[in-house]
């Protein structure tokens, strides 16, 4: 007996079989669409020293990794090695990771201010594809040599290395 792919299809209707390939393709397309929003990725392997007393990934370790990756992304986008964390919004721990898990951290720029860059972060298990954590807003500010906020002059994401500090392309485009 065949079953239906939707709840509106009566189970006794053999003309509407379950199309598992189509369901898998739809899920893959949704995951691919979500991944297109991510403009910077890095991966980590969860090791014993990253675990809490419960045997799962310690939230502090994960937040340290995210802050470091966000700093790298901000430096590349703002063209300034003096980009610092200004704000991190509510953190939503959705599921956990355990020793041996491979996790992927993704960042997406959501806005450029006069001296700042705002981004969104998501962390997921690379094997199960389950979301581990989401942060809606992380804000980094570009500073000058004296530690004061300085305008960066950018309004769009770059995918090139033209904003690496100290490179020929340094400065606002």
Q: Could you identify the residue written with the tokens 């990934």? A: 57
Kindly state the DSSP code that residue 168 receives in the 8-state scheme.
Answer: T
The pLDDT-based confidence of 163 (bands split at 50, 70, 90) is: confident
Strands 83-88 and 116-125, sheet pairing: unpaired
**CATH architecture group of domain 40-142:** Roll (3.10)
Write down the pLDDT at residue 161.
61
Say how many C-beta atoms besides its own lie within 10 A of residue 8's C-beta. 7
What is the token pair recorded at 134?
A: 């989401």
pLDDT for position 92: 92
Per-residue model confidence (pLDDT) at position 12: 44
More confident residue, 133 or 7: 133
For residue range 121-154, what is the model confidence (pLDDT) as tens digits? 999 999 899 999 999 999 999 999 999 999 999 9
Which of the 8 DSSP states describes residue 51?
A: B
Q: How far apart are CA 171 and CA 69, in angstroms?
A: 22
Task: For 46-101, write each residue's pLDDT tens digit.
Answer: 999 999 999 999 999 999 999 999 999 999 999 999 999 999 999 999 999 999 99
pLDDT (tens digit, 9 = 90+) per residue, 27-38? 444 444 445 566
Q: How distant is the alpha carbon of residue 92 from its chain centre?
A: 13
Higher pLDDT, 125 or 165: 125
């Amino acid at each position: 007996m065949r079953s239906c792919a939707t709840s509106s299809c009566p189970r006794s209707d053999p003309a509407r079989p379950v199309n598992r390939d189509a369901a898998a393709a739809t899920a893959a397309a949704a995951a691919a669409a979500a991944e297109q929003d991510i403009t910077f990725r890095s991966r980590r392997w969860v090791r014993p020293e990253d675990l809490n007393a419960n045997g799962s990934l310690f939230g502090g370790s994960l937040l340290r990794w995210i802050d470091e990756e966000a700093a790298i992304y901000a430096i590349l986008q703002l063209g300034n090695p003096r980009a610092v964390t200004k704000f991190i919004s509510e953190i939503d721990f959705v599921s956990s990771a355990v020793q041996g898990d491979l996790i992927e951290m993704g960042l997406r720029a959501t806005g450029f201010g006069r001296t700042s860059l705002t981004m969104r972060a998501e962390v997921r298990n690379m094997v199960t594809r389950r979301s581990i954590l989401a942060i809606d807003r992380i804000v980094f500010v570009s500073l000058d040599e004296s530690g004061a906020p300085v305008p960066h002059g950018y309004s769009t994401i770059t995918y090139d290395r033209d904003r690496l500090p100290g490179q020929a392309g340094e400065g606002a485009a």
